[in-house]
């Protein structure tokens, strides 16, 4: 059980606080409710570009990271399809510096043409390194573009392509910042050796007088049900032939999310999983087969990924995957499998939430999804799962008409 306090400022900023006397440090996690799914289809990459810009100049700061280094701290950030997260770790005695920095770049970010062009160049180089020049680097573009036809999950966080990033203007960036970077569109979590009353006092000092605009309503186009299989061959001179499958599934807050997540573990998590026992140990066709879920706020994707051994035919390998899936659909899963993967999930979650910084991140994300209390109740959602639940979601998700398949590699 993770103990925490909650406080909401008059301007709508939500504050979560967790006290940890065992450290002399503090983590500040500021999670903005904006991701690449909030972009227009003609202006993709804005959320990620703005993340980069938040570390550049402000009216009173030449370089964000230099200030953090001088007070013994570190900082970083990440952007996803749903959210953008900024976090700092620093000695608790210097905690106020992190609050000043976050309020400064929220209010006084220096979005000049020069800064924007510099960061666009950085992002474009990142795009080339990770997605154009990296083996399999374009697979997320292909998978999501194939699975989604209406919903903005169809493009990756970094943007659709280099030309789209190049075309972004200062007006685009400023408008996106003004629309989404607001105190009432954020959750702040402070975790570490600083008391709750002191935290509230300092957060009020640096954020209390920032005006919260009218809360925007997200109205994203929803993806219609996929009514037929989709298929693609993509030739690429990569080391191995790969099969990628995506199936539409529910979103992170849906009642069936935990059962679908556990289904991916039963199929592809570890050496006792169905895929490993039947496809890695049971055949000589694969070197790796895995399953995972996207975990997105809106209805997401269930992934199956298979790395083929040399000279293995795509169709033969694809059929072998179907044998494993069809057997699960026909026979279901055992109580032992459910209990094993529930216990594994809970153990991993406990390990992942040991540190004060990890707690700051988890509390922020849970608060944004369904309330911070969810961090202490989600284990029960997994414990309540039965073999019937797993087979039911399997029959809903693992349908042929719900599947998009890519044969990817030198033989595709």
pLDDT at 132: 92
* Tokens representing residue 163 in the block: 């030309």
Q: For residues 333-345, b (16+ Cβ closer than 10 Å) or e, as one string?
A: beeebbebbbebb
What is the domain range of residue 13? 5-207
- pLDDT at position 230: 98
Quick one: pLDDT at residue 215? 78
Q: Which of 207, 240, 259 is the last residue of a domain?
A: 207
Q: Which residue has the tokens 């300092």?
A: 202
Q: What is the pLDDT of residue 344?
A: 94
CA-based torsion, 265, 268, 271, 275: positive or negative: positive
Q: H-type helices in 128-185, by residue range?
A: 139-147, 162-167, 170-180
| DSSP string for residues in 199-231 | HHHHHHHHHTTSPPPPPP---PPPPPPP-S-EE
Residues in the chain: 412
Contacts of 411 (CB under 8 A, 6+ apart): 241, 314
Residue 223 included in any domain: no
Note whether residue 213 is domain-resident: no
- Residues 297, 193, single domain; the answer is no
Question: Is 102 domain-assigned?
Answer: yes
**Which residues of the chain, if any, have pLDDT below 50?**
none
Inside any domain, residue 315: yes
**348 in the same domain as 310:** yes
| pLDDT at residue number 350 | 83
* pLDDT digits 0-9 by tens, 93-120: 999 999 999 999 999 999 999 999 999 9
Residues 405 and 266 in one domain: yes
Between CA 12 and CA 203 the distance in angstroms is 12
CATH of the domain at 145: 3.30.830.10
**Is residue 292 a part of any domain in this protein?**
yes
> Are 234 and 132 in the same domain?
no
Claim to verify: residue 156 and residue 293 sit in the same structural domain? no
Place of tokens 């606080």: 17
pLDDT of residue 351: 81
- Burial class, 56, CB count within 10 angstroms (exposed 0-12 / middle 13-18 / buried 19+): buried
Q: Are 14 and 367 in contact (CB under 8 A)?
A: yes
Please give the full DSSP string across 369-404, using - where no structure is assigned: HT-TTHHHHHHHHHHT--HHHHHHHHHHHS-GGGEE
Q: Do 40 and 170 fall within a single domain?
A: yes
Of 163, 192, 207, which residue sits at a domain end?
207
Q: Are residues 297 and 191 in the same domain?
A: no
Edge-to-edge order in the sheet of strand 84-91: 5-8, 14-19, 186-192, 25-32, 84-91, 74-79
Residue 225 in any domain: the answer is no
Strand order across the beta sheet in which 242-248 lies: 230-235, 403-409, 242-248, 301-308, 286-293
Q: Are residues 178 and 121 in the same domain?
A: yes
**In this structure, is residue 71 part of a structural domain?**
yes
Which of 146, 173, 207 lies at the terminal end of a domain, its last residue?
207
**How deeply is 91 buried, as exposed, middle or buried, from its count of CB atoms within 10 A (0-12, 13-18, 19+)?**
middle
β-strand pairing of 74-79 with 301-308? unpaired
**281-337 residue pLDDT tens:** 999 999 999 999 999 999 999 999 999 999 999 999 999 999 999 999 999 999 999
Q: Does residue 337 fall inside a structural domain?
A: yes
**Domains identified in the chain, total number:** 2
Asked if residue 213 lies in contact with residue 50, where contact means CB atoms within 8 angstroms, the answer is no
The reported pLDDT for the residue numbered 63 is: 85
Cβ atoms < 10 Å from Cβ of 209: 11
Both 394 and 280 in a single domain?
yes
238 and 201 in a common domain: no
User: What is the Rg, in whole angstroms, of the alpha carbon atoms belonging to the chain?
Assistant: 23
Are 256 and 151 in the same domain?
A: no
Q: Do both 142 and 291 map to the same domain? A: no
């Amino acid at each position: 059980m993770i103990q925490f306090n909650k406080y909401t400022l008059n301007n709508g900023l939500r504050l979560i606080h967790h006290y940890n006397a065992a450290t002399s440090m503090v983590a500040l996690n500021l999670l903005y409710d904006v991701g690449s799914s909030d972009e227009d289809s003609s202006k993709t990459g804005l959320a990620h570009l703005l993340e980069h810009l938040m570390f550049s100049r402000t009216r009173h700061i030449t370089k964000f990271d230099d200030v953090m280094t001088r007070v013994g701290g570190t900082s970083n950030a990440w952007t996803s399809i749903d959210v953008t997260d900024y976090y700092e770790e620093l000695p608790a005695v210097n905690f106020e510096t992190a609050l000043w920095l976050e309020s400064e770049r929220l209010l006084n970010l220096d979005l000049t043409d020069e800064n924007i062009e510099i960061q666009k160049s950085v992002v474009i180089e990142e795009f080339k390194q990770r997605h154009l020049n990296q083996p399999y680097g374009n697979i997320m573009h292909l998978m999501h573009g194939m699975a989604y036809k209406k919903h903005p999950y169809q493009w990756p966080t970094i943007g659709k392509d280099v030309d789209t990033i190049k075309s972004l203007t200062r007006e685009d960036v400023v408008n996106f910042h003004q629309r989404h970077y607001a105190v009432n569109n954020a959750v702040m979590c402070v975790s570490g050796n600083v008391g709750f009353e002191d935290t509230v006092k300092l957060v009020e000092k640096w954020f209390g007088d920032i005006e919260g605009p009218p809360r925007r309503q997200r109205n994203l186009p929803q993806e219609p049900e996929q009514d037929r299989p989709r298929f693609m061959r993509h030739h690429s001179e990569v080391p191995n032939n790969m099969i990628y499958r995506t199936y539409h599934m529910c979103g992170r807050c849906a009642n069936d999310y935990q059962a679908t997540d556990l289904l991916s573990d039963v199929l592809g998590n570890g050496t006792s999983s169905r895929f490993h026992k039947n496809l890695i140990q049971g055949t000589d066709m694969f070197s790796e087969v895995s399953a995972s879920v996207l975990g997105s706020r809106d209805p997401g994707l269930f992934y199956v990924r298979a790395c083929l051994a040399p000279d293995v035919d795509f169709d033969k390998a694809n059929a072998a995957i179907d044998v494993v899936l069809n057997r699960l659909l026909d026979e279901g899963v055992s109580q032992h499998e459910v209990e094993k993967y529930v216990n594994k999930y809970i153990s991993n979650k406990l390990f992942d939430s040991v540190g004060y910084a990890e707690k700051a991140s988890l509390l922020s994300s849970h608060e944004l999804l369904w309330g911070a209390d969810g961090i202490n109740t989600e284990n029960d959602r997994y414990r309540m799962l039965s073999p019937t639940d797993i087979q039911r979601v399997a029959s809903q998700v693992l349908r042929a008409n719900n599947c998009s398949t890519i044969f990817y590699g030198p033989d595709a």
